[in-house]
Amino acid sequence: MTDCFEISGKAFVINRRGLIRLCSLRDEYYEFIEDPVALLHDLKAKLHRKADLFTFTQPVSDPDPRFSYHLEFDSAAVLFLSTFDHWWKKQINDKTRNMVRKAQKTGVEIRTVEFGDDLIRGIHTIYNEVPVRQGRRFSHYGKDLEMLRREHGTFLNQSEFCGAYYDGALIGFIKLVHSRGVSNLMNIVSMISHRNKAPNNALIAKAVEICASRTVGRLQYGTGNSGSVGEFKKHHAFQEVRVPRYFVPLNHRGSAALQFGLHRDLNACLPDGWRDYLLMLRAKWFAFRYADSPRGRSVTQRGEQRAQA
């Protein structure tokens, strides 16, 4: 269960992590804390015993630790940009360039698109193609149009949407959120059935083109534990940048959680071999669970999701 509230015009959420209640910005990596001292005073006054720890990060454009709170590091996938031509000729290899060309040769058209009913209906079709992606239940599967409108209608004053179209139908899209010094790929999803047309490769190229034209020096594509920069990202010249994540106790329970390491995600504590084994078991469980679904079978038979993880 997640609690949401606002302080000083920013939205916060409280999530449970085991026995610990963790407070954070709802839109982490798109909004940041400039003055944590003043904010912590307001948080403690408002939350009382509702949360034990407050956690926040710095932007990838400012990765050097600036605060004295307990910190650990998140791993962000970042592409450092100068011009599109430099990225195309110097930062990616022939295979990646050929994949971008393949999208064009197979009839995929990449274009910017306005946020509206047509885009939402197209996203709805993409999200409801398959119930399982990357070996787990796809969280957007089954959502209705109004829910998708609310979820994708954030940061519209600083966002751009690009669509990949084939025979006039949307088969993939990205949402770019621009901020000072960095743009963020908030969403990039394409239809599994059209993966052979390389729409994601072409969408990444379009994102690079847009960022270069805006003289944005960094394009961020996801954040997670160390090692989260997979082969697909590396092929497009993304690299790992470690950004500080701070943990600040809001009460005695939060102090004890920090002391015993209870604030960490269980996945981050597992050895790599264990994590890979558990991910394999999860993928097999979902393959079994959705084995009777034609959509589920198409996913598990091809094993296509893991190739772009």
Helices (H), the chain: 36-47, 84-86, 94-105, 117-127, 145-152, 199-213, 231-235, 252-260, 266-269, 272-289, 294-302
265 and 151 belong to one structural domain: no
90 and 227 belong to one structural domain: yes
* pTM of the shown model: 0.83
Torsion angles phi and psi, residue 118, rounded to 5: -60, -45
Q: Give the residue numbers spanning the domain of 56.
A: 3-73+245-269
182 and 207 belong to one structural domain: yes
Q: Which residues in the chain land under pLDDT 50? A: 1, 294, 296-309
206 and 220 belong to one structural domain: yes
Torsion angles phi and psi, residue 208, rounded to 5: -65, -45
Q: Three-state secondary structure along 152-182?
A: HCCCHHHEEEEEEEECCEEEEEEEEEEECCE
Tokens 């179209």, residue?
A: 165
185 and 295 belong to one structural domain: yes
Could you tell me which of 204, 109, 194, 189 has the C-alpha nearest to residue 151? Answer: 189
Predicted local distance difference test score (pLDDT) of residue 2: 64
198 and 252 belong to one structural domain: no
120 and 251 belong to one structural domain: no
Q: How many domains does the chain have?
A: 2
286 and 300 belong to one structural domain: yes
* Distances, alpha carbon 254 to alpha carbons 35, 37, 48, in Å: 21, 17, 12
Predicted local distance difference test score (pLDDT) of residue 303: 43
67 and 82 belong to one structural domain: no
Q: Is 256 left (phi over 0), alpha (psi -120 to 50) or beta?
A: alpha
290 and 143 belong to one structural domain: yes
By three-state DSSP, how is residue 74 classified?
strand
The two three-digit tokens of residue 181, written as one number: 């010094």
The two three-digit tokens of residue 109, written as one number: 């058209």
170 and 47 belong to one structural domain: no
Predicted local distance difference test score (pLDDT) of residue 137: 84
Q: Is 71 left (phi over 0), alpha (psi -120 to 50) or beta?
A: beta
48 and 91 belong to one structural domain: no
Spacing of C-alpha 149 from chain mean position? 18
At 124, which CATH number?
A: 3.40.630.30
